[in-house]
Amino acid sequence: GFLTREERARLEGLRSPYNKFWVPCAWFGALAGQARREGRELNRFRAHCSLLFHYDWVSVPLVYTQVVTIAVYTFFLTCLIGRQFLDPAQGY
């Protein structure tokens, strides 16, 4: 509900080698300047846009990345050892 279909198409069509989190901020700045020139009230719009910034503040705790790393390494080692087909007749 934050973007119109046209804005979403423009955001998805933007080619950038970096993260595009700054684009809504730039759009908000342009809209805020236009609204100020027209004498509009910005409090409600500002309250809704502040929700966008709250999503970026919540970071993934380090323990989750460590658990995923250990799980992937364990799975890889288990597959490496468990998928070896040895011939019992050769007396390993």
| Measured CA distances, 69 to 65, 66, 79, 80 (Å) | 6, 5, 15, 16
Model pTM score: 0.35
* Average pLDDT for runs of 10 along the chain of length 92: 83 84 83 84 76 71 88 96 85 76
CA distance 54 to 49: 9
Res 68: pLDDT: 93
Res 91: pLDDT: 79
